[in-house]
Structure 1
């Protein structure tokens, strides 16, 4: 049985935003986190399959400027997660000023990019001869992308609510223009199958 009740819940890169019931983690002691950890240094200090839930709230875009570091981060995330662990990710949309203006934002995070860590998607791409990089297969990790949501920029949200534009018009604008989508929210589920040990 996959009993997640005794496992950790991590709020990674917490900054000053602490979450009750989570181990709040940041690399800066000035934030007064529960644990001071640099997420770009491996291995992380948590055991294999020890984590049931992860929050990465406006964090992932700050990590992994070098591809090897980003891929190492995803390997560590999968390693510490138990089978079925949920990883909640919130990031600024890469074509919004809130992403572009911050010099500490080093990586655009998109749904299609996260899908590269899904072995189910990877196998489909291999069968189709697609050019997408099957990172889940290459790295030996597996995350299902189970949820994607967006928050519109307030200006576009007001226009949508006022009936000045419909949802189709908003998404058409998002294909051409900056500052339409403010942030994206993703949920990944760690898949380990029979790798998970009984406890």
Structure 2
């Protein structure tokens, strides 16, 4: 059905031939995307278990990826998580956009779900940036240079934090300053509900 599935002769990337992937779509299927899920009960366009590698998509065939409340469910082992990150890099073309929405690790939404196996934060995604890793190497820093070890390169270009509703209301009314909110978010549970992060693929 999809001409950009992995084959012996992978299709080079260009705007006319790339696809967009909604990975782990569940019942939230999006028009214009190839909607992918491991459960056929969701009636996705393609049934794929994202922890089974490699994925059935060609190298450099994807221009946009959405992972909405999915990545925290994947890769309980480091080896599997590494494979998932490397597959994301393989299938995406240069300048592809990856949107990642995950629960904040100090939110009960994350803590109370036993299927959440990995914390995803901006700092973790920063380890996948080759420029960061080369800087740390020059400085003799102890940060784990995942981009170099895993041969990937993702640039974190945008990060949004979504406040819990009562704190959002306090911010909007002026009862809570942005500085006060950010200080609380660093130290307390249930201040932020989720991270919304955007990566750009660099090849």
Give the C-alpha shift of residue 5 in structure 1: 3.1
Pairing 1:117-196 to 2, within 5 Å after superposition: 117-192=128-203
Determine whether 1:70 maps to 2:113: no
5+ long unaligned stretches in structure 2: 1-11
5+ long unaligned stretches in structure 1: 193-199
Tell me the TM-score normalized by structure 2: 0.92
Show the counterpart of 1:31: 42
Tell me the TM-score normalized by structure 1: 0.94
Give the C-alpha shift of residue 2 in structure 1: 6.0
Show the counterpart of 1:9: 20
Give the C-alpha shift of residue 3 in structure 1: 2.4
Show the counterpart of 1:92: 103
In the alignment of these two chains, the number of paired residues is 192
Which of 113, 121, 145 is 2:124 aligned to? 113
What is the RMSD of the two structures over their aligned residues, measured on CA atoms?
1.1
Report the 3-state secondary structure (helix = DSSP H, G, I; strand = E; otherwise coil) of the residue aligned with 2:197: strand
